[in-house]
Each structure stands twice: as C-alpha cells, then as structure tokens.
Chains A and B, each alone.
Chain A
Amino acid sequence: MVDNPDLSALLPTLRALCGEDGVIAEEAQRRTYDADGLTHHSAVPGAVVLPTTAEQVAEVVRLCAEHGVPFVPRGSGTGLSGGAMPHPEGVLIVTSRMRRILRVDIDNQYAVVEPGVFNLDVTRAAAPHGHYYAPDPSSQQVCSVGGNIAENSGGAHCLKYGFTVNHVLGMQVVTPDGSIVELGGTAAEQPGYDLMGAFIGSEGTLGIATRITVRLLPAPEKVRTLLAAFPSMDAGGSAVSAIIAAGVLPAAIEMMDALAIEAAEAAVHCDYPPGAGAVLIVELDGPASEVDAQFDAVTELCREAGAFEIRTASDAAERARVWKGRKSAFAAVGRISPAYIVQDGVVPRTALPEVLRGIAELSATTGIRVANVFHAGDGNLHPLVLFDHADSAAAERAAEVSGAILDLCIEHGGSITGEHGVGVDKACHMPRMFSPADLAAMERLRRAFDPAGLANPEKLLPTPRLCGERPGVRTEEHPLVASGEAELF
C-alpha cells in the first residue's frame, strides 16, 4: 500500500472522488507507472488516480493543494524527457480515462476533445468530413492530445504546419489550486493575455488541460513524396539548402545517414538504395497544380546536388513504404547496438553541415558511434548515440558525447530541445541556453500559476537537487515501441 502516511490519509477521499477503480494504491500496480517514454528516469508514484471528469481532476488537485501534496499529470506516457516521471511523495493524475471526442464541428472546423484522446483519433474523427488534425508526432497512434498540449508536440510535418500551439483554439484547464479555468474559446482571438499560448508546452507545470478545442484543416488535395539517395551527407545537405533557397516549403524534409539507414535496413528491410551515404525524404502537399510544379523543381534540385537515385510515391501505400525506414529508425538502432541515447537538439538549418561534421569528429575521437536521423527542414537533430551498456566506461563516454552534441547545438545558436521537451532530463541543461535572469522570468510565470510549487515539481526549470545528476541513457525498449504501438521520434 501507499507508504507515505500523508497520502494514505488521502486515499479514502480520492476513492470517494474517483471511485474504487479510479485510484491505484497497491505498489506493484503503481510501479507500472514509474516512468514515461524515457525509462531511465523513474520513480514509483505515491498514488495514482484515473479521473473521468474535469471536476474530478479539479477535486483531486484541490485536495493536493490543501495537503501540500505534489501532483504530476500524465497522458499516455510516451514523452521522451521524463516530463511525466512521477513524484514518489505525490499523486500521479492520469488522463487515460478521459478519452471522449465531445464534438466535431465541421462548419467551424474544430473538434472538442478530452485530454486522454489519442492524437490520431482526432484525425480519424475528422477524416469522414475531409479534414484532419495537423500535429502528427510519431507516437500519434497512442500519444494523447493532453500530452501534446504539455509538450507542444510537433511531428514530421511541423516544418510547414507548426506545432500544437498553432492548432489550439481553446482549453479548459485545472490550475494548481484546483480551479477550473477556461482559456481561449472557439474563435481565433480572445481579449487578454495569451495564457493558452504560455500554457501549451509548459510540461504540466502550470496545470492540467481537461478539455481541448483543436483546429481542423481540410485535407490537402494532393500529397507527393520522394526519396532521394545521395553519396554523402554533404550532398544531401546541399539539396536541402537548395530546396529552401528556391522558396519551396515542403510539408516535411527528413534525412538519415548511412548508419541510420543500415539500422533501418536491418530492422524493417525498408529497401533504401544501397550504398547511400544519406537518404532524403521530401513530402509536398497542397493544391495539385502547386505540388506538381514544386515536385519537378525538387526532383531537379536533388539531381543537381548529386542524388544517384530518386524514387517517387504518389499513393498512400507507396508513401508508407518510403516513410517506413525513417519512422522505424529510432527503434531500429536497437538492432545494431545494445543501448543508445536518443538526443533532440536544434540548430539553424544553415549550421547543419558544420554541426554534423562536429558530431562526426566527436564520434571519431571517442569511438562512440552516432547515427543521425533528423528533420532537416527545421534543423532538428535526433542523433542516436550508440554504446554497450555492459561497458560502463562506454556508457559514460556516450553520455558525454550526447551532452557535447547539445553544446554544439547551443554554440551554433540552436536549442537543447526541438520537440521532446525539457522535463527532468534536460532541466539541468537550461542554464546553458538561458541566463539566470531569463530563468527567473520563467519562474515568475510558474509562480503566478502555482505559488505553492506543487504542479510537476522539479521539471522544466533547474533545481539544485536535480542538477547533481547527469543526463542518463536508454537501455531498453519502451513497452509501447516493443508492442508495435508507437514509434519513437
């Protein structure tokens, strides 16, 4: 049972609020919630509640506030920065039973959903009306819209369509004092501060979204995807620069290096062109006349940059084949390495060649292999740092390489995270990117929402206790990946 006496005393009230099946107190069951997608940061939650309504969420949070008990919100638990890592003395509030799509209003092009609704289910609900929900993180089959709010999730297509924050019209949130507050609405503008804009991406530190109104877009008339194989990363990189310089804004531009291709080949037999030093996937969508004109231009630019093979996909099945290797790349490196760290950094696109050379140098000097998979269009790198976790020296070197890659990103004017979030994993990296004054300003926002400091404490902003630890490593497959339900991005 719950070890913390304060929490034990709350259990009857929690059960009265959420029902017997809405509270998990037994330790073995609590343990199943001990981590999100970043499994090396773990803690068994003091108690787990699974509310079904906003009122229940509010009551639970109010109870926590009254008793000074920390709480941590959790959606599907697919996050990759430990943002939903539980607090051992706190309550984990899981939104997975709040999974209703409340309304699809096609006339006004929005949907109203509960926070536990899977991202892809929004698109599924809108598809019969010829619409879709644009943010598409790779875990979209199982990640929740509430989690997307917390992380401001993007996806491969955010180059053109932006992030979650660009697609939310309104939210009902429970603030850390247990109040239910409406932010935004069903119209594009609302008077007052853009609290919704600040809330999205706040990683559960400002409260819990309990109802979300998302914009729906009409499905594009045409989608075309091409895969181009280049002899080297430099050649692939120059194709990306040429495409951007030509004024083309693809829906996605993705790139993989030889090691990532090797891994994908071993895992899913994606049959990418043999001998490629780099593979580029470019997806164009929009009006047919524009897509066709741009597709020809992109094909030509790839050839000029040295592509030795170009494949095109024009229907959904062919497109899925092109994307197969890319989407499986993260999990696939497990085939060529016993353990790996998934890094997430951003650099200005023009700095990509230099940063990739820097990563190659790091790899050469340390003997740690790094596979590169990235969203080339927006400079978002996902280096996969490979090592054998049985070798503790190698593990340490890998962690150093991973950290050094973030340093490279910061040196080149980039960011320590493009989409995975800060969470617990990168809180201690924040001072490398922001000054103490910058962080103090962020703290001001946090205190305005949460003066008692109970909402997802020790996440996002650095704390002295937390920052004695170094960023860790990933040694095992996430259960959702293992079961084929999700692909890591």
Chain B
Amino acid sequence: MSETARAPAAIETVASKLAAHGIHARPGEERAGDAVSGVVPSLVATPADTAGVESAMALANRHGLAVVARGNGSKIDWGAPPRRLDMTVATTALTGITHASGDLVARVGAGTPLAQLQEELATAGQRLSVDTVIAGSTVGGVVATGLSGPRRLLHGSVRDLVIGMTVVGADAVATSSGGAVVKNVAGYDLAKLHTGALGTLGVITSVTFRLHPIAPALRLVRATTSDPAAARAWVWDMARSPAVASAVELDWPAGGALHLYVLLEGTVAGVEARAAAVAASLRGGAAEPDTRADLPAGWGAAPGEDGDTLLRVSCPIAATVDTALALRSAGEAVGVPVAVRGSAGAGVLLASVPARTAAADVATIVTRVRTELAEGSVTVARPAAAVRGSGLDLWGEVAGLELMRAVKDSFDPGHHLAPGRFVGGI
C-alpha cells in the first residue's frame, strides 16, 4: 500500500539542513522502535521547541516529505499504517509545565509525560482529570488519540478539558486557538479538531488544560457478577444515582466475571455516606460489594497486552453491558478470548483481542459487533501487526466523512501529515 518515499537525495538534504538549524535528527530504524504501524521513517527529528518544529515542518513542506508526529511512541501503532512516511517529528523535547494553580489551569508542552504532569500538579493538590489508559503516554499523545479513562464520566473526556492549543500546521506555521481561561468563546475551537485526529491536521506542540482539585477522600466500591441482567441494572442505577460517581467502570476479563467499579470522590464524611448508599444498591451479585479507599494498580489501563488488537467501542449508555457481552460472545464464537474494560457510565469501552488472533477472526468479531450494535461505533484503534493491511475497515461507517475530507484538504492540501493513518484514508 505504501507509496514511494522521497528520493534519498531529498532526505539527505533535509537531514543536513536540520543539522544546520541545530535540530537533532537521526536515521529512522526499526529496532529503535521508530516504525509507525510497521512503516519506518527515513528520518527522526527531535526539535527542541515550537520554533524547531516549524523549521522541521518547513523543510518537510519544501521537499514534499510525509510527516508523522509522535511523543513517546506508546500509541505509535494506533490507526492505519501511513501511506507514505519520510520523517517522524518527535515532540519528546517539547516539555515544560506552566501551572497557574490559582486558576486551575496548566499549559503543558506536548512531549511532557502525562504521569509527570500529574505528579507536578498533585504537589498543589490538583490534577488533570484524565486517567492513564496507555502507560508512558505523553500529553500530546493522549490528546492526539483523544484517549480518556474512567473519570471522563464526571469530568468529560480529554476534548472537554482542553482550553487552548498550539499546533504547527502543514504550512509550518505555529498557530494557537482557545486561550488560558476556561470560559472563552472567541473564535473557532480548533483544538476540538486536533483532539483525536492522530496528527493528520498538524503537530500539537502545547496544550492548555482545565484542571480539577484532588478531593480529600475517595472510595471505590466494587461489585461482581456473572449475570448480565444484574450488571445492566447496576449501570442503570448508577446513571441515576444521587451519589454522583466520578467513574462507573466495567471490567470484564476474558473468561471471568464482570466487575463494576464505582468511584466516589469528595469530603471524608461525604464519600463514606455515598459509598454506603452505592454498595447498598449494588445488590444481587456474586458476593457483597467491597469498598476500598484507594485505587488499584493499573486503574483505567486498557485491557489486554501490548500488541493486542484494541477495539474502541461507543454506544448509548443503556446498551453498555449488552455491547460488552456482544464483544465477548463474538470472540467466543471464533474461539478468541476478548477482554472488555471501560466507562459503563459514559458508554465507551475498550476491548482487547489477543495479538496472535488471525486477521480473519478479528474481522469476524468486529463485523459481528458492528452489526449487533444498533447505535454507536466500533473502531479498531490499535490493530495488531497481524491485522495490518488485512483489508479490515478500521473505522466502520463514519458520519460526515466528506466534510472531514474537506477539512483535511483545507488544513493539509498536500496530504503530507500522516497520510492514510486516519478515517477514510485521510
């Protein structure tokens, strides 16, 4: 599928000019983990700042290079393989946190690891209300994949927490939208377009977020059942509960029982009363619900192992348990264990299909769940190596695709930014 990469001469020219600009660059290598869904770039540039990204993009633009932006590479195998790839622009040197704690706002370099951001914010009793789904993610990577964990239920997904963004476009010019204040309706909210766009509209260099205070106390109530009807009733109850959960998280490992986790955050006295009320309403399970005062290791992490195919599924909230069931059943039908985890309260699930599964079986699972799902979507967020290039439609039906193409053509007329990595071959 790959189109011809640029001639070695153009790559050499760009490499020497990057060096002249003082921008660190090296040849791309598969064993260094440079491959983007299996496609190895000729060059990996690591600019030190936004101006450096502009310079690198200007060179790419002049020489017609196809560019993929990356952070730590923890989700470098997400999306479809790029049709062309000459240069990767790594944002790992674009670090830095400007935390306006009194305003509950932070401006963060795209290359800053999410975990590092959370550590720093925690010293001021604050957090970005985005849980780690894939370990090692940078802030830019989380935003470019639009990946949100359990607490999206109460605080919204990452797109709801971005209030400003700086992006270097295909024309190599850095532009900003939004600002440093939460309440702001000046101009188009271009950050919404870049969030979840897999870098197909520009290279994100910094993001400004709205933050939340860390509550004094938390309680995590867990109920377990093998009966989908019980789980369905629990999710329905939790969606209406006056307890106002920060997260209602479903965890249904392959071959195991379903766990429902309800996270309550607030004052010490408050969470105690709310947890008791929640535990009382999660009846009829395999055992009494248990309650703890901290989060387990791996809270919010995607199910399965690195390298598994990861499906991203969204449905109306009342259909969450049935959708999870459909995913598992579709796996069982072809003898493949599918694990499901995600926000039952928000109707957004991740499902893992083991890496070794044949592409045809993955396709069967995906197609079957798409057919069964009356409303919503099943996308193959991270196809395993065996699935790449198998012809499986990663996105399914995409509403508004023609408009999306128009947006892409307007922002990146030469299709130099991660060509082919996104919906409909964008």
Contacts and interface: CB of A to CB of B under 8 A. Distances in A.
B317 to A, nearest CB: 5
A154 interface: yes
Interface in B212-259: 212-216, 236, 239-244
A186 B410 contact: no
A192 B181 contact: no
B9 interface: no
B162 to A, nearest CB: 10
Contacts of A184: 399
A110 B317 CA distance: 10
Interface stretch (A67-75, A239-247, A474-482): A239-247
B418 to A, nearest CB: 13
Nearest to A285: B244
Given A430-B186, A446-B188, A195 B159 contact: no
Nearest to B105: A348
Interface in A261-295: 286-290, 293-294
B185 A445 contact: no
B314 interface: yes
B181 A195 contact: no
B169 interface: yes
B235 to A, nearest CB: 11
A202 B190 CA distance: 10
B379 to A, nearest CB: 5
| Most chain B Cβ neighbours within 10 Å, of A190, A347, A437 | A190
Contacts of B152: 188
A218 B240 CA distance: 6
Contacts of A350: 100, 102-103
B213 A249 contact: yes
B400 A182 contact: yes
B234 to A, nearest CB: 14
Contact of B410 (A187, A245, A445): A445
B409 interface: yes
B348 A294 contact: no
B118 interface: no
B193 A449 contact: no
B274 A191 contact: no
B340 interface: no
A416 B239 contact: no
A249 B212 contact: yes
Nearest to B175: A441
A186 B216 contact: no
| Most chain A Cβ neighbours within 10 Å, of B188, B236, B240 | B188
A378 B169 CA distance: 31
Interface string A184-200: 11111111111101101
A346 B181 contact: yes
B186 A417 contact: yes
Given A287-B244, A290-B266, A437-B173, A218 B239 contact: yes
B183 A380 contact: yes
Given A190-B314, A197-B195, 17 more contacts: A105-B316, A152-B185, A185-B375, A188-B314, A190-B377, A194-B192, A195-B193, A197-B189, A197-B193, A218-B239, A247-B214, A248-B213, A375-B183, A415-B181, A447-B410, A448-B407, A448-B409
Sort A-B residue pairs by CB-CB distance and give the 5 closest, nearest first: A197-B192, A247-B213, A221-B242, A189-B314, A187-B376
